[in-house]
Amino acid sequence: MIRGSPHPFFVEFLRPGCCKGTGLAKLCEAIGISLENVAAFGDGDNDKEMLQLAGLGVAVKNARDVTKASADIVLELTNDQDGVAEFIAKLAREGRFEESPTSTALPV
């Protein structure tokens, strides 16, 4: 399968059935996290399956229309306006993150 996201900037060559959504599902399975407990962020056509599979699919304001339609939430800020960072900070202020006793912090 070949698709652009967003055309004409990127061209992706993918095996049928392969997308960011299947990658996210495999990652969650490997580390023992339910997709229901995942927030995913996107702006391009190649993000739509990932946003649909995540428990919370979030599109930035300047996302493509197909991506916005696949999201649960469309932010009021673009990626250039730090929309993702602002939304994560909002989730943190609301206490939406919980520490799992089996989780390990990833190096930043």
Residue 106 confidence (pLDDT): 46
Residue 108 has pLDDT above 50, yes or no: no
18-66 confidence digits (pLDDT tens): 899 999 999 999 999 999 999 999 998 889 999 999 999 999 999 999 9
Question: Which amino acid is it at 76?
Answer: E
64-107 confidence digits (pLDDT tens): 999 999 999 999 999 999 999 999 999 999 988 876 545 554 44
Residue 2 confidence (pLDDT): 53
